[in-house]
Amino acid sequence: MTTRYTTDHEYIRAEGKIGTVGISSYAQEQLGDIVFVELPAVGATFKKGDEAAVVESVKAASEIYAPVSGTVTEVNDALSDEPGLINTDPAAGGWIFKIEIADEAELEGLMDDAAYADHTA
């Protein structure tokens, strides 16, 4: 299991071909209280960098981009009623969608924990 980060603060936790996507703890803190999440459709296909979801705080809407290319296999429906899970538990309960990774090599272009820690320092 590897977790990688984008410069836009999405994370993707890959287990085999499936990656779980959310936003980092740093990102949720910057956004503040999340009040709404627009989830992608299961089956939607994205290229790396496509807008895949929208996370809205009281103040603003922020796009969530697909960290890798692939097809959405599952979305976190719990966020519809409880979008604040992204604030309270961004790495686990606050995941946004799962994606079947089209090209695992794309993961290599993303930051690992140490590089992301430097990026947000």
Partner 1 sequence: MADGPQTDLLKTALYDRHVAHGGRIVEFGGYALPVQYKGIVAEHAHTRDAASLFDVSHMGQVVVTGPDHATTIAALEALTPADLASLAPGDMRYTVLLNADGGIEDDLIITRPAEGQEPDGVMYMVVNAARKHHDLDLMRTHGAADITYDLRDDLALIALQGPQAAEVLSRHTDIIGKLGFMQAGPATIAGVAVNVSRSGYTGEDGFELSVANTDAPKIFDLLAADDRVEPAGLGARDSLRLEAGLCLYGHDMNDAIDPVTAGLIFAIGKRRRTEGGFAGADTVLSRIAKGPDDKRVGIRFEGRQPVREGAELVDANGNVIGRITSGTFAPTAQASIAMGYVPADIASEGEAVTAMVRGKPIAGTIAKMPFVQQRYYRKPA
Binding site for partner 1 (CB under 8 A): 9, 27, 30, 32-33, 35-36, 38, 54, 56-61, 80, 83
Rg (CA), the chain: 13
Pick 60 or 121: Cβ nearer partner 1: 60
**DSSP secondary structure string, 50-71?**
-EEEEEEESS-EEEEE-SSSEE
Tokens (6 digits) for 74: 């599952």
Q: 72 is written with which tokens? A: 């959405």
29 or 112, CB closer to partner 1?
29
Provide the minimum distance between the beta carbon of 2 and partner 1 in the complex, in angstroms, as a whole number.
24
What angle (nearest 5°) sits at the alpha carbon of residue 4, between those of residues 32 and 15?
Answer: 115
In the bound complex, what is the minimum distance in angstroms from residue 83's beta carbon to partner 1? 7
Strands 10-15 and 61-65 come out as unpaired
Least CB distance to partner 1 at residue 74 (A): 21
Nearer to partner 1, 2 or 80 (CB): 80
β partners of residue 3: 13
Nearer to partner 1, 54 or 102 (CB): 54
Closest separation in Å from C-beta 60 to partner 1: 8
